[in-house]
Amino acid sequence: MTNQLNDYDPNGIGQVNGNLYGLPFDYDSANLIVFGVPWEVTVSYRAGTAQGPAQVLAASPQLDLFDFDNPEGWKQGIFMAEISQDILDKNVHYRSQAAQVIERLEQGRKLNELPDLTQVLAGINQVCESVNIWLYDRTRSALNLGKLVAVIGGDHSAPLCCFRSLAEQYDDFGILHIDAHADLRNGYEGFKYSHASIMFNALEIPQITKLIQVGLRDICQDEVNLINGSNNRVIAHYDSALQQQLYSGKSWIEICREIIAPLPQNVHVSFDVDGLDPKLCPNTGTPVPGGLELEQTYCLFREVVKSGRKIIGYDLCEVGNAEWDGNVGARIVYKLANLMDKSWK
């Protein structure tokens, strides 16, 4: 690997070598290990995000590697583990079963009506737990080797066991959450590990002491009540309120600094692409009008690093099954890798 790195030209043509950005690293030589989780069994609107990791990987070699925030950030070593075909296959099978559950509920009927779907739901929850264990084992192993970890979904249920792994290493950390949705529903549609329940489940991890949500614009009353009753453990920055501040002349830099002020020293960034304006990732699972520009999120992440906080992990979820979405996703994954690396120096 040393010889490969010596011979590697970061200004050359991106190599299609099975690794993100065509970089010449493997698991042993990389500092950052990226895990793709091709899973979207509980999606409730539009499918396709199970192919998000593959779309990001396919788009990544055509990116130029120079990054203004960390010009030699690629040298940290970035390696993407092989995308699991077994999980992809299970996703297809159990997605069709979940669709039966969702259809029944949308009809206003109970799951125990004939044909009884209660065991179907139980089986889905069980297999979702097995995917969580799969990711936990891999992120825990990487962290034990002193590596950093990141996750590419799949739907937003993907990173839960990355949070759990980080909680074994850090007594106190916060999540900076970019999303159109609060994801604070308790077992949405009966799915314990629903994409709409990721942050509800995250709050069961005591080491997560702060959840800062940015860009929310599609939310239910129960979620608002949970936020308002959280004693500021959860702080929501609604898209409409952010835009109103900008319309009144407040600078985005000032807003960013106020957003990150309550975060603890260690921060995981959880990025659902539907937090962005839908023109950027139009094929995401649950697009919502409005949202952030990509550079606004980068500015926010830069302020995290400039504040002296450390990015200890990140995830990117809900990338749609389309070339453009993969292109944008690959850029987000690379920017966060470089900012995370910079935060450790």
Q: How far apart are CA 179 and CA 138, in angstroms?
A: 26
Q: What pLDDT digit, counting tens, does each position of 268-296 carry? A: 999 999 999 999 999 999 999 999 999 99
Contact 325, 282 (CB under 8 A): yes
CATH number, domain of 211, equals 3.40.800.10
| Total count of domains within the chain | 1
CA dist 86 and 289 (Å) reads: 35
pLDDT at 4 over 80: no
Is residue 1 pLDDT above 60, yes or no? no
Which band of pLDDT confidence, cut at 50, 70 and 90, is reported for residue 36? very high
> Residue 245, exposed/middle/buried by CB under 10 A (0-12, 13-18, 19+)?
middle
- Tell me the CA distances in angstroms from 256 to 121, 221, 306, 332, one per residue in order: 41, 26, 11, 18
One-character DSSP codes across 209-240: EEEEEEEE-S--HHHHHHHHTSTTSEEEEEHH
pLDDT at 3 over 60: no
Q: State the CB neighbour count (10 A cutoff) for residue 102.
A: 17
What confidence tens digit (pLDDT) does each residue in 196-243 have? 999 999 999 999 999 999 999 999 999 999 999 999 999 999 999 999
CA distance 12 to 8: 8
CA distance 100 to 82: 31
Residue 21 belongs to domain spanning: 2-343
Q: Is the pLDDT of residue 13 over 90?
A: no
What average pLDDT is seen over the chain?
Answer: 96
**Is it the case that residue 261 has pLDDT exceeding 70?**
yes
Cβ atoms of 219 and 196 within 8 Å: the answer is: no
Q: Prior bond to 278 cis, omega within 30? A: no
What Rg do the C-alpha atoms of the chain give, in angstroms?
A: 19
172 DSSP 8-state letter: S
Check if the beta carbon of residue 194 is closer than 8 Å to that of residue 188. Answer: yes
How much is the average pLDDT of 42-68? 95
197-200: which pairs have CB atoms within 8 A and are 24 or more residues apart? 197/157, 198/156, 198/157, 198/159, 198/160, 198/270, 199/175, 199/234, 199/270, 200/226
- d(CA 209, CA 39) in angstroms, rounded, equals 27
- pTM of this structure: 0.96
Q: What is the CB-side half-sphere exposure of residue 190 using CA atoms within 13 A?
A: 21
Tell me the average pLDDT across 27-50.
Answer: 94
